[in-house]
Structure 1
Amino acid sequence: MTVQVDEMDRKILRALQEDASRSLDEIAREVGSSKTPVWTRIRKLREAGIIGRQTVILDAEALGLEACFFVLIRTSEHEAEWQQTFLAALRARPEVMEAHRLAGEIDYILKVRVPNARAYDAFYQALISEVRIYNVTALLSMEEIKSTPLLPLGQAPSKS
């Protein structure tokens, strides 16, 4: 289902991104509409897959997950079977926060959250015991400068 997202939809999406736990009344007031049209638009956006599941954002450091590693992976394997095994290994590991397949010299980059370097080493050892990897480089993030789940919902792109 293709949905045209207009400026009111963008206002609603921005409000939901900021705090989806607010009441429908609060969101409607913020976007300058009434409750029923806002609820209808939210339902339409959910049905279209624009709004996915709702969750909460937890503080990793407060929960003892103080080390964030960016893991650069190069592989000499590109067969479908290897990729399936690799993706299954990543999906099975809750410490993998993000995984991206890249263009260029590095094949994959992972964002991994663990308590410390020893926990990262256990993750690394488990991963390479399951999947053959040509080269792994781990970069420890010294400071998180910016992290946001909020998408930039500016004006609609102009059509040329």
Structure 2
Amino acid sequence: MDAIDIKLLKLLQHNAELTIQELSSEVHLSTTPCWKRINQLKNNGYINKTVALVNRKRVGSNVTAMVGVTVTNHNQERISVFADTVKEIPEVIECYRMSGETDYLLKVVVSDIESYDNFYKNLIEKVKFLKVTSNFAIEEIKSTTEIPINTMD
């Protein structure tokens, strides 16, 4: 990967709707080599997919909760069951297996506290756990999907 690839990734992360003409102009290539580079970045796994970022508040997902889950058993089967369960719950938009006191950290978006309560009841029905802690976001300071990419500058 060279400086042109890095610049293309940065541009696409910021605005995936840029045309090939706009991208090629930014990286000083003609359109065909630019298109080939983007396809190569996709084929090599640098670009997973292209999506539209929906404004969660406009669609009614007004509450964000960070949910820490501590489970009772840490064997491979339980890890798989937890992961499979969480993947099927649409309100969970991110899930991480953690080190430290909390085993999993979930980012959950719901419309209101009643919806969170329904999510919580659904979760505890499906997963055996020792402890769940919920922290509700008061204000979103920063939210981005742009990954920092090392430059060759």
Would the TM-score normalized by the shorter structure come out above 0.5?
A: yes
For residues 43 and 146 of structure 2, the distance between their equivalents in structure 1, rounded to whole angstroms, comes to: 20
Question: Structure 1, residues 94-113: CA drift from partner, whole Å, max 9, x if none?
Answer: 11010001111111100000
For residues 11 and 81 of structure 1, the distance between their equivalents in structure 2, rounded to whole angstroms, comes to: 42
For residues 108 and 17 of structure 1, the distance between their equivalents in structure 2, rounded to whole angstroms, comes to: 28
For residues 51 and 85 of structure 1, the distance between their equivalents in structure 2, rounded to whole angstroms, comes to: 29
State the partner residue of 2:121: 125
Q: Post-superposition shift, 1:144?
A: 0.5
Matched, 1:134 2:134: no
Q: Post-superposition shift, 1:81?
A: 1.8
Q: How many residues of Structure 1 are paired with residues of Structure 2 in the alignment?
A: 153
Q: Post-superposition shift, 1:6?
A: 1.0
Matched, 1:58 2:54: yes
Question: Structure 1, residues 10-55: CA drift from partner, whole Å, max 9, x if none?
Answer: 0111111111112100111112221111111111111111111111
Report % sequence identity.
Answer: 35
Q: Post-superposition shift, 1:143?
A: 0.5
State the partner residue of 1:95: 91
Determine helix, strand or coil for the equivalent of 1:69. strand
CA RMSD between the two structures: 1.3
**20, 23, 26: which one aligns with 2:22:** 26
Question: Structure 1, residues 55-95: CA drift from partner, whole Å, max 9, x if none?
Answer: 10000011110000000111121112211211111010111
Moved over 4 A (4+): none
For residues 6 and 136 of structure 2, the distance between their equivalents in structure 1, rounded to whole angstroms, comes to: 36
For residues 32 and 25 of structure 2, the distance between their equivalents in structure 1, rounded to whole angstroms, comes to: 12
Letter in 1 for 2:12: L
TM-score normalised per structure 1: 0.92
Segments of 5+ residues of structure 2 without an aligned counterpart are none
Matched, 1:85 2:85: no
State the partner residue of 1:155: 151
Question: Structure 1, residues 97-134: CA drift from partner, whole Å, max 9, x if none?
Answer: 10001111111100000001111110111111011011
Segments of 5+ residues of structure 1 without an aligned counterpart are none
TM-score normalised per structure 2: 0.96
For residues 101 and 49 of structure 1, the distance between their equivalents in structure 2, rounded to whole angstroms, comes to: 23
